[in-house]
């Protein structure tokens, strides 16, 4: 069942979203060669707690950290640890937070120092894919219109969208109905209605769309070792333009 949110609920989700956006911002400022992802995890945790919120990922189905930090060919769910970031890496940071019982969830891929033009293009295309999908996040469209727009744009640019993982509804739970794929034909799925809240999150690979999970049971990597990028916002369907809830101040 897709849960329609009230105006008050959307206000709480927007506050949760601002906290997530702020956490991403402080993490972004700390990213540099030599910094470990465990240090980034601590920075995000401290920021979230300072705002009266709770990290959403810690303990979720046994996940051991506060954020996900996925480096280079790691698509999502990379567990922060002691390995330092290197010049030329790219790192995807995914952060969720609960505030007053409501969740915000967003992700970005950041360059570490100076990176290759190819890596920068992947990051740029992944971000733009989100905004291509967002154009269809309006009342009257169907859910897969978002999915289709993302896939078409990504594939036109010579990249592939990960099909084994999808976006999701969000609210009092981090994962609610419906699933939000980044691929598929248009005109399918539920019709979008005011008050729906979705986490739209293109995951884009330089090479094949095939992925596998490492032995830690969490980290998803590209099968062919190619780079991967991730871009996510929590959004709300309104009577007019879609509202990005994980927007900074």
Per-residue pLDDT tens for 13-30? 999 999 999 999 999 999
Mean pLDDT of 92-106: 98
| C-alpha span between 169 and 225 (Å, rounded) | 30
Write out the E strands in 130-227: 160-161, 167-169, 176-180, 197-200, 203-205, 211-213, 220-222
Enter the CATH code of domain 7-244. Answer: 3.90.230.10
Tens-digit pLDDT profile for residues 39-78: 999 999 999 999 999 999 999 999 999 999 999 999 999 9
Residue 248's pLDDT is what?
75
Tens-digit pLDDT profile for residues 121-150: 999 999 999 999 999 999 999 999 999 999
Nearest to 154 by CA among 69, 230, 224, 221: 230
Mean pLDDT of 198-217: 98
Cis, peptide link before residue 178, omega less than 30° from 0: yes
What's the pTM? Answer: 0.98
Percentage above 90 pLDDT, the chain: 99
| C-alpha span between 43 and 249 (Å, rounded) | 19
Mean pLDDT of 218-244: 98
Residue 249's pLDDT is what?
61
Average pLDDT, rounded, for the chain: 98
Report the alpha-carbon angle 132-184-61, nearest 5.
90
| C-alpha span between 93 and 63 (Å, rounded) | 15
């Amino acid at each position: 069942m897709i849960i329609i949110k009230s105006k008050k609920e959307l206000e709480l989700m927007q506050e949760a979203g601002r906290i997530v956006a702020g956490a991403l911002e402080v993490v972004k400022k700390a990213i540099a060669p030599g910094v470990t992802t465990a240090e980034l995890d601590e920075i995000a945790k401290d920021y979230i707690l300072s705002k009266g919120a709770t990290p959403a990922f810690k303990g979720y189905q046994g996940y051991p950290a506060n954020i996900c930090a996925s480096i280079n060919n790691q698509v999502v769910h990379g567990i922060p640890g002691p390995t330092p970031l290197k010049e030329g890496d790219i790192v995807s940071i995914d952060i969720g937070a609960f505030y007053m019982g409501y969740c915000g969830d967003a992700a970005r891929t950041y360059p570490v120092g100076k990176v290759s033009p190819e890596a920068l293009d992947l990051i740029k295309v992944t971000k733009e894919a989100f905004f291509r999908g967002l154009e269809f996040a309006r009342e009257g469209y169907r859910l897969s219109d978002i999915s289709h727009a993302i896939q078409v744009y990504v594939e036109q640019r010579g990249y592939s969208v990960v099909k084994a993982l999808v976006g999701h509804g969000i609210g009092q739970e981090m994962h609610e109905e419906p699933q939000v794929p980044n691929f598929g034909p248009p005109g399918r799925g539920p019709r979008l209605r005011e008050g729906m809240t979705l986490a739209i999150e293109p995951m884009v690979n330089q090479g094949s769309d095939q992925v596998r999970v490492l032995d830690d049971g969490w980290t998803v990597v590209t099968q062919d070792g190619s780079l991967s990028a991730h871009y996510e916002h929590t959004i709300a369907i309104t009577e007019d333009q879609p509202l990005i809830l994980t927007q900074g101040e």
